[in-house]
Structure 1
């Protein structure tokens, strides 16, 4: 296979009808009968025949559309990672235990090579993202028996190396990068840096704290450091300044903490207890008991609480009142003011039975079917689901939570999974190990 992306075009001709398409098999050529006597030649007949043929051809081509299935194939080794960003697809080679890692960028729609770069450090690279025109690549480096995160930053347009620093990156609300360097004993530092050059903005030491974040818009805007003894500090993620601190409980306890909207929510102070504090003042808002609650999460406009086993409780964030509970659902997330939930009976890797729920009542508003979510390559990308076709390849559908429907978009015969999409294109691992890029039909 050449280093360039290979454009594969599969052409199918179909007649659009109101019913299913029927395969008529092969049209075989039968022996001809004796030729008929040739009729007398008429003046002007060739011209009339030509005109009739042209008109007939125009009618046929107008009523029978030609559907062209275009696929760009990008070379990749088994275990490689890919990222779709705008009109670029980045592919990073898998770790083979020696040498630098190769990162190649291909430009869409044709799949031509845009640039190639070598990552300057060994290790297992496991994530890519973009911030401020930079490509941020994150991996693990081993040493002294401890595996630490490493961030390498390249110019997105050219692949030129810019800088590298230890830490796991998160995007901040102001466009800077937060590098989280925390050891297994929960000691380390949080550092904000400029994505262009790695220049430091601020730093916060971490000493045995649980670190939690609040996301607003495009990135993190609040950080909470929580000790096992109940000492909590809330920091401004843009400036690094401490906004408020308080002791929320006494004695060492195993408490799960989340920042949800304008609340700091704790679960597990005592079994099944969920407590909410005002994030700006750390004053208690409400407290409630919820079964064997283990963790809480934001399900805008409500709060979702889960347990070790199946089951879901939904709370009113203003009062803590239980709105509804249901043991049919496992994974759940919010989209467009509604909840998308996966059935507990199909939970796990691969496709799940997905439904749309009313956040206030838990009523099922739509059943989408069995789908595996494609990773959204941009924040506003429509939800896309895939599942295996019985005859091979993947079925692709747009999942509309607002309408509670799944609209079939395509059947990709060579796709194997690991898909990501931006609304216009879908990148998936092919069955032969390479990556394919398909333009979605709408």
Structure 2
């Protein structure tokens, strides 16, 4: 699940309203009352949180401008290396193994630009970086722990790495290319047609399953992203002389612009299933929205389709983003309503869009085991964060601990939560 960070307002207070105070009363046994109150508070905050005292975080020194990347069971800390310029500069990338946050290597890589991604294949570190304001990117590979000597480097956008195959998949001007991580040799290539497009599917693990090619004449093809072999082909109905480029892989489906609507195809065999006339021309599609297809308007609002028929299920102008979690959608508006903060993480019924409840001021961070989600709640006016487990089934919250001196930038992955502290260092808390 991608990160969802949403400001949802306060948690609704479901406690009963106190009855009117009778007069007069006997003296209050404060010691007994406070003891009972403490038991109630422990129950409200989650007995598990009390039984499992959170460990102190591991704190990793860092400077302002340093950036972090979570990938699998690794945390990469990228040093600033000075002011960005077109001249290659030495950057130190420190790699920590999670969840222990143990330093395993420091690699010095010479690059000219802002780092946009770091991955590791075996003992090879792969870094993608942007070299100019136009968005042009390059990819460089170097042995982890080395202080110099790139193994290979090429102008391309980093798509993902396959640990099993030792492959780095990149996008170049003329197509997608699979590179041997160790040697830099090209293993295979899927060419981008003239006036055509290539789209990569999102498998959820950082490396695509399939590549989809659409030519300027409407030829549609699927390719295996692990082997570079063709799988299927067909001819798409486009209705215009020039395809507008809107092809959207959505889970195991593909939506292709076709005149005044979109055709839905099954992946990877490209069997045409249906046509929808829903206006998606100014929308973008979520790569995976569980049991439905989620399309989001450019500003705010969404349209939800039935993946079996392409039929429009419901529309809403409230939501700006949503992600699936089991049988639910977790949605966020990302905006304010009449000056008041809207709930930032709301639970929806995917089939109808009906609001089932929300988590108040808690923000979602990422998927947790057993159909739960990790979340956090900032304490207003303090550098303090509570973190815990959110259950969309009943909108309950189980606090796990409190993080102090937090300035922001919290994310989860590899069994941990990481946040930047007020002195720019990186704190790492183990999650259960």
The aligned runs of 1:103-114 (5 Å cut-off) are 103-106=93-96, 113-114=103-104
1:337 Cα deviation (Å)?
Answer: 3.7
Asked if residue 224 in structure 1 is aligned to residue 212 in structure 2, the reply is yes
- Whether the 8 Å contact between 2:375 and 2:388 is mirrored in structure 1 is yes
From the superposition, tell whether residues 264 and 110 of structure 1 become closer, same or farther in structure 2 (CA, over 3 Å): closer
Q: Given the two structures, how large is their TM-score scaled by the length of structure 1?
A: 0.72
In 1, the alpha carbon distance for the partners of 2:372 and 2:142 equals 28
Asked if residue 246 in structure 1 is aligned to residue 246 in structure 2, the reply is no
Partner of 1:338: 328
1:415 Cα deviation (Å)?
Answer: 1.4
In 1, the alpha carbon distance for the partners of 2:264 and 2:257 equals 9
Partner of 1:189: 175
- Whether the 8 Å contact between 1:131 and 1:175 is mirrored in structure 2 is no
From the superposition, tell whether residues 397 and 244 of structure 1 become closer, same or farther in structure 2 (CA, over 3 Å): same
In 2, the alpha carbon distance for the partners of 1:365 and 1:215 equals 28
In 2, the alpha carbon distance for the partners of 1:65 and 1:264 equals 48
Q: Secondary structure at the match of 1:353?
A: coil
Asked if residue 433 in structure 1 is aligned to residue 424 in structure 2, the reply is yes
In 1, the alpha carbon distance for the partners of 2:152 and 2:420 equals 29
Output the aligned Cα RMSD.
3.7
Asked if residue 210 in structure 1 is aligned to residue 197 in structure 2, the reply is yes
1:113 Cα deviation (Å)?
Answer: 4.3
Partner of 2:76: 90
- Whether the 8 Å contact between 1:246 and 1:282 is mirrored in structure 2 is no
From the superposition, tell whether residues 330 and 257 of structure 1 become closer, same or farther in structure 2 (CA, over 3 Å): same
From the superposition, tell whether residues 313 and 208 of structure 1 become closer, same or farther in structure 2 (CA, over 3 Å): same
- Whether the 8 Å contact between 2:343 and 2:359 is mirrored in structure 1 is no
Using the TM superposition, name which of 300-309 and 287-296 deviates more: 287-296
Pick from 371, 375, 378 the counterpart of residue 385 of structure 1.
375
Asked if residue 116 in structure 1 is aligned to residue 103 in structure 2, the reply is no
Asked if residue 365 in structure 1 is aligned to residue 356 in structure 2, the reply is yes
- Whether the 8 Å contact between 2:197 and 2:245 is mirrored in structure 1 is no
Structure 1 or 2, whichever has the larger Rg, is 1
- Whether the 8 Å contact between 1:296 and 1:303 is mirrored in structure 2 is yes
Partner of 2:62: 76
Q: Given the two structures, how large is their TM-score scaled by the length of structure 2?
A: 0.73
In 1, the alpha carbon distance for the partners of 2:51 and 2:306 equals 53
Q: Secondary structure at the match of 2:241?
A: coil
In 2, the alpha carbon distance for the partners of 1:154 and 1:373 equals 36
Partner of 1:409: 400
- Whether the 8 Å contact between 1:255 and 1:269 is mirrored in structure 2 is no
Deviation sequence 1:246-299 (CA, Å, 0-9, x none): 2432401424111224432024743xx232134455453211222455233331
In 2, the alpha carbon distance for the partners of 1:110 and 1:275 equals 48
Pick from 9, 17, 23 the counterpart of residue 38 of structure 2.
17
From the superposition, tell whether residues 159 and 245 of structure 1 become closer, same or farther in structure 2 (CA, over 3 Å): farther
Q: Secondary structure at the match of 1:360?
A: coil
1:95 Cα deviation (Å)?
Answer: 4.6
From the superposition, tell whether residues 136 and 205 of structure 1 become closer, same or farther in structure 2 (CA, over 3 Å): same
In 2, the alpha carbon distance for the partners of 1:351 and 1:82 equals 30
In 1, the alpha carbon distance for the partners of 2:204 and 2:102 equals 34
In 1, the alpha carbon distance for the partners of 2:110 and 2:423 equals 29
In 1, the alpha carbon distance for the partners of 2:119 and 2:256 equals 30
Partner of 1:60: none
1:331 Cα deviation (Å)?
Answer: 0.5
Q: Secondary structure at the match of 2:359?
A: strand
Pick from 301, 304, 307 the counterpart of residue 291 of structure 2.
301
In 2, the alpha carbon distance for the partners of 1:428 and 1:130 equals 22
Partner of 2:119: 129
Partner of 2:31: none
1:403 Cα deviation (Å)?
Answer: 4.5
In 2, the alpha carbon distance for the partners of 1:284 and 1:217 equals 24
Asked if residue 149 in structure 1 is aligned to residue 135 in structure 2, the reply is no
Structure 1 residue runs without a partner (length 5+): 1-14, 22-63
From the superposition, tell whether residues 129 and 365 of structure 1 become closer, same or farther in structure 2 (CA, over 3 Å): farther
Between the two structures, name the one with larger relative contact order (CA 8 Å, sep ≥ 6). 2
Deviation sequence 1:116-161 (CA, Å, 0-9, x none): 2201333221212344564432212349x77322232444xx5687
From the superposition, tell whether residues 228 and 344 of structure 1 become closer, same or farther in structure 2 (CA, over 3 Å): farther
Deviation sequence 1:62-112 (CA, Å, 0-9, x none): xx9996762322111112112346775431112523631111234667766
- Whether the 8 Å contact between 1:425 and 1:439 is mirrored in structure 2 is yes
1:18 Cα deviation (Å)?
Answer: 2.0
- Whether the 8 Å contact between 1:330 and 1:342 is mirrored in structure 2 is yes
- Whether the 8 Å contact between 1:394 and 1:416 is mirrored in structure 2 is no
- Whether the 8 Å contact between 1:89 and 1:108 is mirrored in structure 2 is yes
